[in-house]
Amino acid sequence: MPILTRADASIHYAVEGIGEPILFVQGAGVIGEGWRPQVESFKGEYETCIYDNRGIGASSPLSGALHVGDMVGDALAIMDTLGWESAHVVGHSLGGVVAQQIALDAPDRVRSLSLLCTVARGADATRLTARMLWLGIRSRVGTRSMRRRAFLEMVVPPSLLAAGDSNALAEELGARFGRDLADSPPVVMAQLRALAAHDTTPRLAELSAIPTLVVSATEDVITRVEHGERLAAGIPGSQFVAMAGAAHAVTIHEFGRVNEHLREHFRRAARPRLAKSA
C-alpha cells in the first residue's frame, strides 16, 4: 500500500475506483478504513482515496504538537501525489474541520465539500458537558467490556444499542475504527487539542462558491445538531441535513443514508460544470 513521505511524517493512503476523485478525511481516533462503507459504494463510479491521519494506523507516529494545518498539508500533498487538480472533499468530525480549511486554503482544488457531524469552532466539539464527562470517565475506567459500552454510547444511537449485543457491535465498530474500543490511541488527545484550537467561523462565507453539504445527526452527543446548523448558516448556499435517529458514527451505522446524500450532492455539484462546458 502506498506511503507518502513528507518532511515530518509518512502518510499511508489507498486509492480505489475510477472517475471523478473523492478525498475522504477521517476524524479523531479512526483509521482511513473507517470510510470503507463509502469506498465500496462509490468506487464503481468515482476514484476514491482514504488515508490514515498522521499518528494513527499505518502512518508514522506523531512527533511533537499537532495542528489542523499539518493535516491540511497532508491532504493536499496526497492530492498532489495522485495528480488530482481537484476533488470532492468529504470530512467527518475533526476531518470536517480539516476539510473546511482545505477549501479555505485552496478553494480551486475542491469540487464540492461534504461536512459530516462536524463544527466550525472546534471548541464546540471538545467542550465537556456533564454527559460527555460521564461517558468519557466510563470509557477509561472499569472492565474492557464496560469501557467499550461507554464508548458506544458516545457514537451510536440508543436504539441501536438496545436492539442487539453490545459486545458484537463493539467488535464490528472496532474493526472500522482500527482498534479495540476499550483503548484510546495516544494521538487522540493531540487530535482533540488541534481541534479545540481551530475555528473557521470568521471565514465561512468565503466557502459560498463551493457546493457544500452539511450533515448532522439528531442523536449525536459530540457534534450536536445546533453545531451543524450554525456551520451551514455561515456558508451561504449550503445544504443542511439533520439525520433523524443517527449518532456520531453515522458514516458507519447509517452508511446507506449517508451515501445517498453524498451521491446526490456530488451529482448536483457536477451539473453547473457540465452546463458551463456545453
Q: DSSP secondary-structure letter at 157?
A: -
pLDDT in tens, the chain (278 residues): 699 999 999 999 999 999 999 999 999 999 999 999 999 999 999 999 999 999 999 999 998 899 999 999 999 999 999 999 999 999 999 999 999 999 999 999 999 999 999 999 999 999 888 888 888 888 888 899 999 999 999 999 999 988 878 889 999 999 999 999 999 998 999 999 999 999 999 999 999 999 999 999 999 999 999 999 999 999 999 999 999 999 999 999 999 999 999 999 999 998 755 444 33
Which CATH number covers residue 231?
Answer: 3.40.50.1820
Per DSSP, the three-state class of 235 is coil
pLDDT given at position 272 = 57
Domain that holds residue 112: 3-277
Other residues' Cβ atoms within 10 Å of the Cβ of residue 199: 15
DSSP run (H or E) holding 131:
helix 130-138
pLDDT given at position 136 = 86
For residues 140 and 184, give the distance between their C-alpha atoms in angstroms, rounded to a whole number. Answer: 8
- pTM more than 0.75: yes
Rounded to the nearest 5 percent, the helix, strand and coil shares of the chain are: 50, 20, 35
- b/e map of 60-75 (b: 16 or more CB within 10 Å)? bebeeebebebbbbbb
For residues 89 and 99, give the distance between their C-alpha atoms in angstroms, rounded to a whole number. Answer: 6
Q: How many independent structural domains does the chain possess?
A: 1
Residue among 37, 51, 32, 89 at smallest CA distance from 252: 37
